[in-house]
């Protein structure tokens, strides 16, 4: 062992390496270590910013979640009590339930409609018509969610377009102030999310379906498969990855929603449209219950992970 080290040292000196042997340890780094060190240099700035404004706050959230603290005065350590409250308080459970309820609208509607459109279109998206369609369908992705919230608050208002259209087709008796209605406010908020995500999901699925080899469908038709069977046995399996992406994006958008609800209903009426994101904000900054807000924040983070990881696993590409 020591002999080899010695040998190396002599070789180096013989080579006339400019690297000076200072101190006890100055063995030349082997190739791997050098590579790692250089890579670390490239990674460091990003890692520092990420650590400072994501990892450290996340650690602080964890710490806060074990406190009883009004954000100004002295704090008291309460262990897991805040988590116990989050998981047992009926109001907070309803708030979490609302978020899952929103998944129905944010996820199911865009994907179902997107799949329907994609199967019918299957490649008819070329030319200027295709460009116009793409541009229009992407509009909701480009504008701030806040603007979508304002637009739809107006659509759902008592004098808004939704009621105007209902009256026009003779369903005027159904007209109401949708966002102020205990039964319909949450579905209405859900429809706003569906509107925002519809174009993106449709375009993702249309792009995906264009990659499927058309001869598979021809073969299936020769074998007497109907449209429904084609959808179940060809399209959906082939689009597994794209559907996975749509589900992931929409589920996160539903669980972590904030902007739309803040603008459209502020959680009301009552707490019928309150979602965890808005409740965290309200608890921490209006009610000064920083500990409880942080516990809810950690629970929300875990819920998102719990929902997203299985989706990723199901949708992983087959190798």
Partner 1 sequence: MIESKGNALVARAMLIALMAVTLLPFLSMLSAALAPSGSYPAGLQWPSDPQWGNFVKAFEVANMTKLLWSSSLIVGGVVPVSVLIATMAGYGLSRIDKGRGKWLYLIFVLGLTLPLEAVITPLYYETKALGILNTRMALILPLIGLFMPFSVYWMRAHFLNVPQELGEAAEVDGASDWKQFWLIQLPIARPAIMSLSILLFLWTWNQFLLPVVLVQDPEQRTMAGALGAFQGQWGTDVPLLCAGALLILTPTLILFLVFQRQFVAALLQGSVKG
Looking at beta carbons only, is 94 or 207 nearer to partner 1? 207
Residue 300 DSSP class:
H
Looking at beta carbons only, is 186 or 191 nearer to partner 1? 191
CB contact set of 188 (below 8 Å; sequence gap of 6+): 152, 156, 178, 179, 181, 264
Q: Closest distance between partner 1 and the C-beta of residue 9, in Å?
A: 25
Alpha carbon dihedral 63, 65, 70, 71, in 10-degree steps, equals: 40
Structure tokens belonging to residue 304: 């998102």
Q: Closest distance between partner 1 and the C-beta of residue 1, in Å?
A: 23
Residue written as tokens 């979490």?
A: 96
Q: Closest distance between partner 1 and the C-beta of residue 25, in Å?
A: 20
Looking at beta carbons only, is 140 or 186 nearer to partner 1? 140
CA distance 188 to 31: 60
Structure tokens belonging to residue 291: 């500990």
Looking at beta carbons only, is 81 or 217 nearer to partner 1? 217
Contact present, 233 and 86 (Cβ < 8 Å): no
Q: Closest distance between partner 1 and the C-beta of residue 10, in Å?
A: 26
CA distance 56 to 51: 6
Looking at beta carbons only, is 52 or 80 nearer to partner 1? 52
Contact present, 257 and 77 (Cβ < 8 Å): no
Q: Closest distance between partner 1 and the C-beta of residue 88, in Å?
A: 21
């Amino acid at each position: 062992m020591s002999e080899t080290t010695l040998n190396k040292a002599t070789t180096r000196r013989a080579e006339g390496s400019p690297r000076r042997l200072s101190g006890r340890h100055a063995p030349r780094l082997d190739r791997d270590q050098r590579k790692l060190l250089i890579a670390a240099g490239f990674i460091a700035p990003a890692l520092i910013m990420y650590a400072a404004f994501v990892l450290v706050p996340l650690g602080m959230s964890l710490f806060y979640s074990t406190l009883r603290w009004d954000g100004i005065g002295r704090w008291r350590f309460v262990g897991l009590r805040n988590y116990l409250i989050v998981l047992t308080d009926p109001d907070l459970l309803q708030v979490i339930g609302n978020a899952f309820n929103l998944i129905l609208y944010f996820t199911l509607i865009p994907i179902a409609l997107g799949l329907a459109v994609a199967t019918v279109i299957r490649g008819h998206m070329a030319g200027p018509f295709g460009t116009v369609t793409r541009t229009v369908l992407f509009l909701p992705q480009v504008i701030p969610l806040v603007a979508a919230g304002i637009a739809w608050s107006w659509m759902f208002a008592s004098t808004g377009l939704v009621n105007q259209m209902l009256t026009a087709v003779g369903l005027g008796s159904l007209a109401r102030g949708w966002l102020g209605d205990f039964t319909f406010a949450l579905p209405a908020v859900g429809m706003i999310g569906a509107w925002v995500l519809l174009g993106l999901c449709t375009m993702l699925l249309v792009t995906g379906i264009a990659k499927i080899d058309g001869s598979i469908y021809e073969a299936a038709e020769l074998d007497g498969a109907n449209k429904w069977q084609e959808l179940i046995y060809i399209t959906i399996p082939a689009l597994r990855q794209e559907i996975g992406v749509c589900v992931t994006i929409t589920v996160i958008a539903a669980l972590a929603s904030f902007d739309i609800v803040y603008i459209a209903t502020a959680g009301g009426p009552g707490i019928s449209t309150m979602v965890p994101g808005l409740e965290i904000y309200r608890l921490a900054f209006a009610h000064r219950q920083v500990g409880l807000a942080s516990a809810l924040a950690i629970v929300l983070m875990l819920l998102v992970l719990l929902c997203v990881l299985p989706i990723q696993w199901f949708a992983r590409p087959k190798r």
